[in-house]
């Protein structure tokens, strides 16, 4: 549930030098979606208010990457630290709200953890999200007194050898009372090893002002792990996919190997579904009951009905497949394809922008494009709908119970009416009437005692 008293600030100004890329770091992707998008979508589950996004490097690229009216863009012209970054939006926040600080390079953070952080704040002025790392190198350490009260955060480069042994780390995420927000930011100094303005210094400022500091410690280290290089990006990709695979298993889906499935978007799956290795789901996908998807198939922004089989190495994109269909192997359904009930699409068949009615078959080596096909149709091997004249696309209409012989070309615009037959090897350029046979074949010639050419010596 969204909280109307919280404003979210997302820090996205870092260049990401260790990514060795022309892209801003936060535009690198986890599960087909930029890290920035992951964080923004999580933030929108927390608040209905505008999300303050602080950017620096690659501003225009960032703005072009995400179109969202809820984003309030603020430029940090000089990168002088996290405290300096957040200071850029002092004049934009309401002092009656709490301010939630997030980072655009921490993509796996969940709504549940943020809700726990918000709950932990209670009546305190500041609450920190912390975690316990076995190897905390590189992170700021949470310093507590003998009563386990937080008294400061020490950055790695400023920590003593004793402080470096502390395993509780600062994730950077925090919730700040708006009434103290401006005052604390304006009092932050840069007298540290980096000569930067650390946002974490507000902890000591809160203590100076006699304010208690609360915290919430997450057990999920991966969700608070940031990305600074390609290795970390790849690691979080696999962790994300591991979570998605476990969710499918918990819901009753059979996975041949949970380590070899990729979900790059949203996926809903019915009962008794079997998914073989190296299957990729992209965008918004819906899978019905009793579906079997064989190895190396890709399903993108598509809906698969009940009792369907997708054979190996098939690609389905922006398509609708109704119940009891069979697709593949090596089939491709392109955008705006709709297969009605019990349609069969076989090996090396490509279908684009076409509707195929119930119980029709396109089994072998065919291209069907810009076509309305009736029910009970049989398309022979090697059939081509010639839909493009070099400038425009044209429609092919095939009625019910039509039989198209192998190696035929249907030159659009053209209509093949109900119960008609097209003989194998025909080139059809005119309407074929209902119940008729259409043939276009040259006369066969046989030359006796034919001598094959002989290779020159």
Q: What is the pLDDT of residue 3?
A: 76
Residue 252 CB-density burial (10 A; 0-12 exposed, 13-18 middle, 19+ buried): exposed
The architecture of the domain spanning 6-224 is Alpha-Beta Complex (3.90)
- Catalytic residue (one of 242, 286, 364, 394): 364
Q: In this structure, are residues 288 and 305 in contact, taking their beta carbons and an 8 Å threshold? A: yes
Q: What is the pLDDT of residue 444?
A: 87
The SS3 of residue 38 is helix
Q: What is the mean pLDDT of each run of 10 residues along the chain (457 residues)?
A: 85 90 94 96 94 90 90 92 94 95 97 96 95 91 93 89 94 96 94 87 93 94 95 97 97 97 97 98 98 98 98 98 98 98 98 98 97 98 96 97 98 98 97 97 90 85
How far apart are alpha carbons 38 and 211 in whole angstroms?
33
Q: In this structure, are residues 421 and 403 in contact, taking their beta carbons and an 8 Å threshold? A: yes
| Alpha-carbon dihedral 127, 132, 133, 136, rounded to 10 degrees | 50
Sequence-separated contacts (24+) of 73-82 with Cβ below 8 Å? 76/13, 79/13, 79/14, 79/15, 80/190, 80/196, 80/197, 81/190, 81/194, 81/196, 81/197, 81/198, 81/199, 82/11, 82/172, 82/196, 82/197, 82/198, 82/199, 82/200
The SS3 of residue 5 is coil
pLDDT tens digits, residue range 53-63? 999 878 889 99
Q: What is the pLDDT of residue 410?
A: 98
Q: What is the pLDDT of residue 1?
A: 61
Q: What is the pLDDT of residue 79?
A: 87
Number of neighbouring beta carbons within 10 Å of residue 402: 23
Instruction: Show the tokens assigned to 173.
Output: 């995420």
How far apart are alpha carbons 13 and 82 in whole angstroms?
9
Helices (H), 127-271: 178-187, 202-208, 230-250
Q: What is the pLDDT of residue 67?
A: 86
Q: Is 28 one of the annotated active-site residues of the chain?
A: no
Q: Per CATH, which fold does 230-438 belong to?
A: UDP N-Acetylglucosamine Acyltransferase; domain 1 (2.160.10)
Residue 440 CB-density burial (10 A; 0-12 exposed, 13-18 middle, 19+ buried): middle
How far apart are alpha carbons 276 and 311 in whole angstroms?
10
How far apart are alpha carbons 172 and 180 in whole angstroms?
18
Show me where the domains of the chain are located.
Answer: 6-224, 230-438
Q: What is the pLDDT of residue 456?
A: 85
Q: In this structure, are residues 353 and 336 in contact, taking their beta carbons and an 8 Å threshold? A: yes
């Amino acid at each position: 549930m969204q909280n109307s008293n919280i404003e979210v600030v997302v820090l996205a100004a870092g260049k990401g030098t260790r990514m060795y890329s022309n892209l801003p770091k936060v535009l690198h992707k986890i599960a087909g979606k930029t890290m920035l998008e992951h964080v923004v979508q999580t933030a929108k589950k927390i608040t209905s208010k505008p999300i303050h996004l602080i950017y620096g490097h690659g501003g225009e690229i960032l703005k072009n990457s995400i179109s969202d009216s809820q984003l309030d863009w603020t430029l940090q012209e000089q990168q002088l630290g996290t405290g300096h970054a957040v200071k850029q939006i002092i004049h934009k926040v309401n002092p009656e709200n709490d301010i939630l600080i997030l980072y655009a390079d921490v993509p796996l953070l969940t709504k549940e953890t943020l809700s726990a952080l918000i709950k932990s704040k209670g009546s305190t002025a500041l609450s920190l999200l912390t975690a316990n790392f076995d190897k905390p190198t590189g992170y700021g350490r949470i310093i507590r007194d003998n009563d386990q009260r937080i008294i400061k955060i020490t950055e790695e480069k400023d920590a003593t050898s004793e402080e470096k042994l502390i395993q509780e780390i600062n994730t950077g995420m925090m919730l700040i009372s708006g009434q103290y927000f401006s005052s604390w930011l304006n009092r932050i100094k840069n007298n540290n090893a980096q000569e930067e303005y650390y946002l974490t210094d507000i902890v000591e400022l809160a203590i100076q002002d006699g304010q208690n500091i609360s915290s919430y410690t997450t057990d999920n280290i991966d969700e608070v792990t940031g990305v600074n290089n390609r290795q970390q990006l790849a690691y979080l990709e696999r962790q994300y996919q591991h979570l998605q695979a476990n969710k499918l298993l918990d819901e009753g889906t059979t996975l041949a190997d949970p380590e070899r499935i990729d979900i790059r978007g949203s996926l809903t799956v019915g009962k008794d579904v079997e998914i073989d290795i190296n299957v990729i789901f992209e965008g918004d996908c819906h899978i019905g009951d009793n579906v079997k998807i064989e190895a190396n198939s890709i399903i993108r922004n598509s809906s698969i009905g009940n009792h369907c089989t997708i054979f190996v190495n098939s690609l389905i994109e922006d398509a609708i497949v109704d119940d009891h269909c069979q697709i593949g192997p090596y089939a491709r359904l392109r955008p705006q394809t709709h297969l009605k009930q019990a349609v069969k699409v076989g090996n090396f068949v490509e279908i684009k922008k076409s509707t195929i009615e119930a119980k029709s078959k396109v089994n072998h080596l065919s291209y069907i494009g810009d076509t309305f096909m009736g029910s009970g149709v049989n398309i022979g091997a090697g059939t081509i709908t010639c839909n493009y004249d070099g400038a425009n696309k044209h429609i092919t209409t095939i009625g019910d119970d039509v039989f198209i012989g192998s190696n035929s070309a249907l030159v659009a615009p053209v209509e093949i009416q109900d119960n008609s037959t097209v003989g194998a090897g025909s080139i059809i350029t005119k309407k074929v009437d209902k119940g008729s046979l259409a043939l276009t074949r040259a006369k066969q010639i046989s030359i006796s005692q034919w001598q094959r050419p002989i290779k020159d010596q």
